[in-house]
Amino acid sequence: MREIVFDTETTGLDPQGGDRLVELGCVEMVNRVPTGATYHAYFNPERDMPAEAEAVHGLSAAFLADKPRFAQCAADFLEFIGDAPLVAHNAGFDFGFINAELSAIGMEPVSRDRMVDTVAIARRKHPGAKLSLDALCTRYGIDRSHRTKHGALLDAELLAQLYVELMGGRQIGLELAAEVSVSSAVTGAVAAVAAVAEVTVAKTTRIFREPRPHAASEAELARHAEFMAGISNPLWSR
């Protein structure tokens, strides 16, 4: 199965309020294994860069001034993602910006049916825990020492590792071992049954015996009657 893990960097938090997409990074995975294929682009937002946003990702208006507009790269981006599911951390945020940019140039938005949100997956697995990318990488032992600032492609690469872990990546080897163990046990059991089936059981002839009498003797009946007579106010006489 082909999936695309991606991340975005923006000028702010609200695409409907004028914030724009400035960086997009995508990592291709097939059967939860990175293929090495990536998509990465910076975009000129055609507006200023708020200091708060620049402090997060380090992308200045001057750096982005000579980068292409999103409209110039949209076709390449859509070709890369194809019809694959799209995995993102807090995916609703990233989808909001991508679809705002597509709508602005008259293109169809990406269906949210394709959205896979790793925050939602992590919340189900670790209720009450911190769910930031940094916190989850620490939980799963994913090296992020080279991440001094947010970067779309770098974060997508980290998220690809995290996604595999959230989906049980480190248990794959254990599951295979368990399957081998079960398979061996089943094979052994089948062999044992086959061996038993090969044993010829000797037939025996049953000897008929007359049933033995079990009636109480006269003395036993007398002792019983004596015992019953000694019970005062028995329940069966009420």
User: Considering 40, 150, 214, 224, which one is annotated as catalytic?
Assistant: 150
- Where does the chain have alpha helices with state H? 51-57, 61-64, 70-81, 91-104, 118-125, 133-139, 152-166, 172-198, 218-229
Can you tell me the distance from the alpha carbon of 77 to that of 102, in angstroms, rounded to the nearest whole number? Answer: 11
Question: Do residues 161 and 32 lie in contact, with contact meaning Cβ atoms separated by under 8 Å?
Answer: no
Q: Which residues pair with 39 in a beta bridge?
A: 26
Classify residue 17 by its DSSP letter.
G
Strands 86-88, 115-117: parallel, antiparallel or unpaired by DSSP?
parallel
Can you tell me the distance from the alpha carbon of 142 to that of 165, in angstroms, rounded to the nearest whole number? Answer: 9
Q: Is 150 a catalytic residue?
A: yes
Angle at 51 between CA 45 and CA 56, to 5 degrees: 85
Question: Do residues 70 and 105 lie in contact, with contact meaning Cβ atoms separated by under 8 Å?
Answer: yes
Q: Which residues are catalytic?
A: 150
